[in-house]
Amino acid sequence: MTDTPDFGRRRRWLTDSRRTHLFAYALVVPVLLLIIGLVAYPFGFAIWVSFTDRVIGSVGKFVGLANFEYLSRNATFGAAVSNTIFLVVVTDILKLGIGLGLALLVNQQLPGRGLFRSFLMLPWAMPAFVAFLTWRVLYQPVGGGLNLVLTQTGIYPHVIDWLGQRPTAMPSVILASVWRGFPFWFISILAALQSIPKELYEAARVDGANAWQRFWMVTAPGIRQVVLVTALLSSIWTANAFEHVWLLTQGGPSDATMVFPVLAYFGMQTQRIGEAAAVSVSMMPVLIVLLIAVTAVMQRDDER
Amino acid sequence: MKSIHLSGFNRARRMVVSAAITAALMAGTSSFAIGQDQPYSGTQLTYWGGLIFSEDANQLLSDTITKWGEANGVQTEVVMINQNETVQRVSAAVESGTMPDALDLSLDLLMIMSRQNVFVPLDELYNRVGEAQGGWYGSIDLATDTTEIAGGRTGLPFGASGNLLLRRTDLLEAAGFDSAPATWEELVAQAEAVNAPPVSGLGLALSNVGDGNVQASVLQSFGGRIADDTGENVTIKSEETRTYLTWLKDAWDRGIFPPGNATWDGAGDNQVYLSGQTAFIANTGSVGIAARNDDPELYEFTAYSALPAGPIGTISPITPQVRAISATSDNQEAAMALLEHLSQPEFLREYYKLAIYGPVLQGQAEFEAFNGEDPIHSGLLDLVQKGTAPGYPDVYNSAYADFMANFIVPKMAQRVVIDGWDFDRAMDEAQAAGQAIYDKY
Amino acid sequence: MSVMKSERSMRRNSGSGASERQRMIVGRVLSYMALTIAVLLILFPIYWMVITSLKLPREIYRVPSLWPQVFTLDNYYKLLFDEGFLHPILNSLMVATTVTVVSVIFSAFAAYSMVRFRYRFKGLIGRLILFAYLTPGSLLFIPLSILMAQLGLSNSLQGLILVDLAFSVPLATWLLQGYFRGVPRELEEQGLIDGLSRMGALLRIVLPLSAPGIAAVSIFVFTGAWNELLFALVLVSSESQRTAPLALNYLITSDVLPWGPLMAGAVISSVPLMILYFVAQRFMVQGLTAGSVKG
């Protein structure tokens, strides 16, 4: 990385004057104000609300940890915890596998690879709302594309109720999320692959390493960092995402696909803002851990 | 091809624009000349209507409001809200102080929100409208009384909906069933007789949507209760509820429910019926109209009846729809005048022909819509006259409305059929979740 | 090129050019097959969206088929003319464009400041930006709608733009930081020596050199604003202010889902983005990853 500390130079830049300093602050202030006003303040407000029994139309009073205590007794909340973790881990693994595989294929010197690259990125270009509605049409037991393909090609003769039964509901949500989310992995890994110096491969070849060994000796270390950061980001996105589950199953059947954001939205629907906020807030510790991990990994990256 | 039903917002927008122009012209040219007969001249009103089935009904409502505005020098804006989102929309609007002057909403939402003094009392208007049109139906009158929680009546009923049982006569007659099932057992028997993939016999929703709450009525008709007579203590765990769950589990194990019925949204049962893949559904009647427009053959083979009975009789709650005026409105007088205008027979006579609502006032039974020619409207009239009050036999209060809004009964049903929990465990969870809700009131 | 060269040198080294060549051809064929299968699988949902939009309702619900028996543009006609879908598309275009331009300007300034200068609280500010970017929207929508009401911006595109900025600016700042780090400091110093001001160095040297990154960030922000549904749902009610996803959402009234027009709307609202991605995918790979992943 280029941002290696160089004190001599930096001192010369800094000693220039207070003007540089002011300039630096002036550049960052608009963004700072925006974040304080539109994120930090509402965020603080939401945390406060999670400690009140606020319902729509009344301000509510401070109730301490009552909302959290109520949630902890709630079976659906437990389901949301385990489902969210399961969804995040499994989609990440699948996206890694698919993204890495496709990136390796496209990274070869194949004529027409640009075309493949474009096609492979299409799911990401679809608006989430549109993408998941389309998947719902695909999963429909009646007239859904997926069942139609399976029955007409004779792969599986019976209509499968993809979203309506416990064994298939979560896998179906995962499939749709992976479909829409893998291109980010694919692009990230592809870029990392392209930044690996070709000489390293050549050297490995000269040393007599086979393809498998070259992958572990050269490719894996070269993309490790990128995969790590992508995994963290993707985890946070998936944990925060609302549309996929909402548009496909609304958390059902029973609580088979209930996740945090959907549970929070249900709290809104039943007008109990205090509880809804508590759901979101109780998700924060995990997010903060992931966040610290992202920062740490990237700082380490900077230092190298 | 006729439209299934779309919101028609383009037309509505043009109407609003033209109304605004007209109002502006009128305000500019004649505001003081006709000041006396236009007491609300120059005011602005925003109205949120609920998008309902039949685009024409939505259009008539918005046209009528616009015309009233033009005649009275009031600048009106009509926004039609998707009913799936009314709760979130109204919630956000209350919280952010952006409520419209007047709006349509369900009784459940009115009951939950009236406690927070979000709406103004309308008793005088309510009585005046009632007296002019033969009096309110008893069940409607009783159900919409919010005096205890809001110090007055906050809702002005304008239509009643509820569930009818729709059945496919072609399939059922071929199997030898000429009449509607009278009990839940008969329903299962008939459904099972015609259950042959891809047709599923029994298209009842078990999901967390309004349609899923029909299960609460089934539970109650088996003698189960949500809470005791004080309306404070949840009593859902009972032998009667166990009987209901036994019936449900038995029906489920017979494989007569359509795939996906535990995750359906509000459109799920309609869709499965319109696709010809179920013999029975419980519906407000919108499916019938959709079929009439898009699939006349299916419409031909559809018959309507009341919900089947359980051991204690039929529980078929009437669901009144109401209009209310926001307490934060600056133009409450004008809004009241508008609501009164919308309660006049001249408007409702036409409106009922297009909307799938039963009457709320006894005088309205004479309307052409209810003359017996249209089976759906006849069914709705029948429902209003013979159906049960909301919540009955339970006490209908805010806690009950909240209980329903949390879909506790369909969730309990899902625990049994989807998760395979035993009845006690499912009932215990429903009992605890329900009591937690009741304790908040 | 370098791979070709290495292939050649390899061949020389191994001395078995023919079998090496054969292996390469087999490898290529397999690669193409794998890629083709992947692309087909990936395109199937998109195919389904398109054909559903071209079907009559009866065919969608009652006699589904993999290929429409009757092609119809009814759904498009209905959506564009009966429903006036063009207006929400224009609204979306306006919101997304404004959000993109403002985000890129604000973020470029902030990112430059964060990358090039060292001052107190910089670490804190950096963390705040990252944190802001990762805060769940479902947590913020009620407080934000209250805030918008207080500012008198409820039910307006301006309010929506402001809220969208809250999510896009942290993201854009963060991505651009990564990109600016890749601009050699020496070039900038040279510019300063040549008499450019700091601002001049940013505008004349750093920004042009980061053009692919800025393109990628713009596309990313544009997509985000174009897609946004949750906040539009909460903030906007009037027809005149609806965005494309919101207008589509309004097609879903309480009972019957009009899949035909919905999928027609899906096609119309994704096609512009797909073309954009298709054309700009090279930038996306270069720019986006340089920013997001190398942080």
What residues contact residue B353 under an 8 Å CB cut-off, 6+ apart?
A: B367, B368, B369
Is C128's Cβ below 8 Å from some Cβ in B?
A: no
Is C163's Cβ below 8 Å from some Cβ in A?
A: yes
Q: From residue C53, give the alpha-carbon distance in Å to each of A148, A176, B4, B272.
A: 17, 20, 14, 20
Whole-angstrom distance, CA of residue A245 vs CA of residue A165: 14
What residues contact residue B176 under an 8 Å CB cut-off, 6+ apart?
A: B193
Nearest chain A residue to C132 by CA distance is A39
Contact C256 B97 (CB under 8 A): no
- Can you list the domains of chain A with their CATH numbers? 75-303 (1.10.3720.10)
DSSP A265-300: HHHHHTT-HHHHHHHHHHTHHHHHHHHHHHHHHHHH
Whole-angstrom distance, CA of residue C159 vs CA of residue C49: 32
Question: Mind telling me how many Å the CA of B86 is from chain A's nearest CA?
Answer: 9
Whole-angstrom distance, CA of residue C88 vs CA of residue C72: 23
Question: Mind telling me how many Å the CA of C47 is from chain B's nearest CA?
Answer: 22
Is C138's Cβ below 8 Å from some Cβ in B?
A: no
Question: Mind telling me how many Å the CA of A141 is from chain B's nearest CA?
Answer: 6
Please list every residue in chain A whose beta carbon sits closer than 8 Å to the beta carbon of residue C274. 122, 125-126
Q: Which chains touch A (3 or more CB pairs under 8 A)?
A: B, C
> At what angle are helices A41-50 and A273-282 packed, to 10 degrees?
110
Nearest chain C residue to A289 by CA distance is C131
Question: Mind telling me how many Å the CA of C233 is from chain B's nearest CA?
Answer: 8
CB C255, CB B53: distance < 8 Å: yes
Question: Mind telling me how many Å the CA of C225 is from chain B's nearest CA?
Answer: 21
CB A142, CB B277: distance < 8 Å: yes
Contact B113 A57 (CB under 8 A): yes
Please list every residue in chain C whose beta carbon sits closer than 8 Å to the beta carbon of residue B10. 81-84, 87
Please list every residue in chain A whose beta carbon sits closer than 8 Å to the beta carbon of residue B414. 252-254
Question: Mind telling me how many Å the CA of A58 is from chain B's nearest CA?
Answer: 6
Give this complex's ipTM: 0.82
Query: DSSP alpha helices (H): ranges in chain C?
Result: 2-14, 17-53, 57-61, 74-77, 86-116, 122-134, 137-150, 157-181, 185-193, 198-201, 207-209, 211-227, 230-235, 244-251, 259-283, 289-292
- Nearest CA among C215, C225, C293, C178 for reference residue A233: C293
Q: What is the pLDDT along chain A (304 residues), one digit of tens a residue?
A: 344 444 445 555 445 667 778 888 888 899 999 999 999 999 898 899 899 988 777 778 898 898 898 888 888 899 999 999 999 999 999 999 999 999 999 988 888 888 888 888 888 888 888 899 899 889 987 678 888 888 888 888 888 889 888 899 999 999 999 999 999 899 889 888 888 888 888 888 888 888 888 889 889 888 888 888 888 888 888 888 888 898 888 887 888 999 988 888 777 777 778 888 888 888 888 878 887 887 777 666 554 4
Of B116, B262, B275, the CB nearest to A253: B262
Whole-angstrom distance, CA of residue C269 vs CA of residue A128: 11
Is B441's Cβ below 8 Å from some Cβ in C?
A: no
Of C127, C169, C181, the CB nearest to A2: C181
Contact C138 A261 (CB under 8 A): yes
Contact C48 A143 (CB under 8 A): no
Residues in chain A: 304
Contact A142 B272 (CB under 8 A): yes
Is C131's Cβ below 8 Å from some Cβ in B?
A: no
Which residue stretches of chain B have pLDDT < 70? 1-37, 84
Whole-angstrom distance, CA of residue B61 vs CA of residue B364: 17
Please list every residue in chain C whose beta carbon sits closer than 8 Å to the beta carbon of residue B96. 145-146, 148-149, 154
Is the domain covering B164-316+406-438 a CATH 3.40.50.1220 domain? no
Q: Around Cβ A260, how many Cβ atoms within 10 Å? A: 26
Q: What is the pLDDT along chain C (295 residues), one digit of tens a residue?
A: 344 444 444 444 444 567 778 888 888 889 899 999 999 999 999 999 998 899 877 777 666 677 777 788 888 988 888 778 899 999 999 999 999 999 999 999 999 898 888 888 888 888 888 888 777 777 787 788 778 877 888 788 999 999 999 889 998 998 888 788 877 888 888 888 888 887 888 888 888 888 888 888 888 889 889 888 878 877 887 778 889 888 887 777 655 667 888 899 999 988 888 888 777 776 766 655 554 444 3
Give just the sign of the alpha carbon dihedral B182, B186, B190, B195: positive
DSSP strand pairing (B302-305 vs B164-168)? antiparallel
Contact B418 A268 (CB under 8 A): no
Domains B9-160+320-386 and B164-316+406-438 share a fold: yes
Is A294's Cβ below 8 Å from some Cβ in C?
A: yes
Please list every residue in chain A whose beta carbon sits closer than 8 Å to the beta carbon of residue C165. 34, 38
Is C71's Cβ below 8 Å from some Cβ in B?
A: no
Residues in chain B: 441
CB B66, CB B76: distance < 8 Å: yes
pLDDT in tens, B358-413: 999 999 999 999 988 888 898 899 888 888 888 989 999 889 988 998 899 999 99
Contact B405 A273 (CB under 8 A): no
Give me the pLDDT at residue C256, please: 60
- Write out the E strands in A111-187: none
Residues in chain C: 295
SS3 state of residue C67 = coil
First to last CA, chain C: 29
Helix (H) or strand (E) holding B279: strand B278-283
Instruction: Write down the domain spans for chain B.
Output: 9-160+320-386, 164-316+406-438
pLDDT in tens, B274-291: 888 899 999 888 888 778
Q: In the block, which residue shows the tokens 């088979």?
A: A256
Q: Looking at the domain that runs over C76-292, which CATH code has it been given?
A: 1.10.3720.10
Please list every residue in chain B whose beta carbon sits closer than 8 Å to the beta carbon of residue A256. 418
Whole-angstrom distance, CA of residue A137 vs CA of residue C266: 12
Best to test chain A binding among C9, C35, C47 (most A CBs inside 10 Å): C35
Token readout for A112 is 């027409």
Q: Looking at the domain that runs over B9-160+320-386, which CATH code has it been given?
A: 3.40.190.10
Is A40's Cβ below 8 Å from some Cβ in C?
A: yes
Question: What is the strand order of the sheet B75-82 is part of?
Answer: B75-82, B44-51, B102-106, B319-325, B156-161
Of B117, B258, B406, the CB nearest to A270: B406
CB B426, CB B416: distance < 8 Å: yes
> Residue A135: is it exposed, middle or buried by C-beta count within 10 angstroms (0-12/13-18/19+)?
buried
Residue A52 DSSP symbol: B
Helix (H) or strand (E) holding B164: strand B164-168
What residues contact residue B336 under an 8 Å CB cut-off, 6+ apart?
A: B122, B125, B325
